[in-house]
Amino acid sequence: MPRIDVTQGDITRVDADAVVNAANTRMRGGGGVDGAIHRAGGRAILEDCIRRFPDGLAAGGAGYTTAGDLPAQYVIHTVGPNFSAGQRDRSLLESCYRNSLAVADDLGLRRVAFPLISAGVYGWPIDDAIAAAVDTVAGAMTSVETVTFVAFNDELADRLRTHQMLATPLRILAGLREAHRRGRGDLRFVPYIYATGAWRIEIGTRRAVHDQGSSPRVGDAGGILRYSSAQGTEFGSGRVTGATPVGAVADLIIASTAEENGVRSPAYGAWLDALIDACTDKRALPYAFDDEDGADGQVWRLTGGHGTVPVPPSPEFDRA
């Protein structure tokens, strides 16, 4: 799984082994990123396209040419689905990223720069285009070490970074809910924010996690599963991305935490459902306290100024 970076700028000037071109099916140049790469790279790119792709390239496919006058060694061309023309199969969009990385692997490349594919004139909804890009790359089995997403403006760069930062934590919360639904009603958690800005969650049994009142905390009992957003996609004994099946995340949580038999709390389960629905809807993370302001005691807050949620129900509602 590669490291993911985000930058704002001109993809034709990025220092990478290969830049990915959002091409069209004819493979003869075009507008947007396609036109910019052909203009900056010179005629050698077009001549190589004609030689290598005499019949063009299908949506979702990928192939490479020389990079001409670009600082990169190669251009990897991929054709995104045209949402505006009715090509709305998301798997085609995901294939653009997977197949481009496969080409990079065949070439022995380590650093690849991508634009956001299909999000321009092809009209793919921006938020879903971002999710497809980041989640597919984050979960890819590839020898590429670094993938850089190159955004054409600061707003898009911020949205890419936000999705990257939220993808794993939101999937962990969804996995925690699934673990509850599988019978691990004993699981509790405390989320908080470091002074560094990193989000942290500690998951354990009801006995180990004291998530009530003004001083929520985790005890010293064993079987506590800890995660910080500074870890990226590393979680427990595996990795979690926005594309990881929720059931697989639940498996990691169940395998990494001790079990307190007999604890069932419909009230806590309902609260957890409402919390995770709110986080998913608002694309925000909960926190009981942070290193700067401490804890409120009456509510948990959501990142990004997205409001508050009630604290977990009192343990007196638990039934062993």
pLDDT digits (tens, 9 = 90+) for 73-92: 999 999 999 999 999 999 99
pLDDT at site 320: 44
Structural domain total, the chain = 2
Same structural domain for residues 56 and 135?
yes
Cα separation, 83 vs 90, in Å, equals: 10
For residues 201 and 172, what is the distance between their CA atoms, to the nearest angstrom?
A: 9
Residue 265 lies in a domain: yes
Residue 211: per-residue pLDDT: 52
Whether residues 100 and 66 share a domain: the answer is yes
* Mean pLDDT over each residue of the chain, to the nearest integer: 91
Residue 159 placed within a domain: no
Active site residues: 34
Cβ atoms of residues 60 and 90 within 8 Å: no
Helix or strand or coil: residue 35? helix
The CATH number linked to 32 is 3.40.220.10
Q: What are phi and psi of 161, to 5 degrees?
A: -65, -40
Entry pTM: 0.83
| Residue 262 domain flag | yes
Rounded Cα distance between 189 and 208, Å, is 9
- Domain assignment of residue 267, given as a range: 167-317
**According to the model, what pLDDT value does residue 201 have?**
95
Alpha-carbon span 281 to 71, nearest angstrom: 41
Within this chain, do residues 313 and 171 fall inside the same structural domain, yes or no? Answer: yes
> How many CB atoms are located within 10 Å of the residue 182 CB?
13
Cα–Cα distance between 171 and 41 in angstroms, integer?
40
User: What kind and span of H or E run contains 20?
Assistant: strand 18-23
- pLDDT at position 218 is 56
pLDDT on residue 44: 98
Distance CA 209, CA 224 (A): 9
The residues of the chain scoring below 50 in pLDDT are: 212-214, 316-320
> Which residues have a Cβ under 8 Å from the Cβ of 128 and sit 6 or more positions away?
90
Q: What is the pLDDT of residues 254-311, one digit of tens each?
A: 999 988 887 778 899 999 999 999 999 999 999 998 766 655 567 899 998 999 999 9
Residue 157 lies in a domain: no
**pLDDT, position 291:** 62
pLDDT at 214: 45
Q: Specify the pLDDT at position 210.
A: 64
Q: Are residues 285 and 206 in the same domain?
A: yes
What pLDDT is recorded for position 1? 80
pLDDT above 70 as % of the chain: 92
pLDDT value of position 213 = 46
> Please, what's the largest Cα pairwise distance for the chain?
74
Residue whose pair of structure tokens reads 């938020």 in the numeric block = 127
Q: Count other Cβ atoms within 10 Å, centred on residue 185.
A: 21
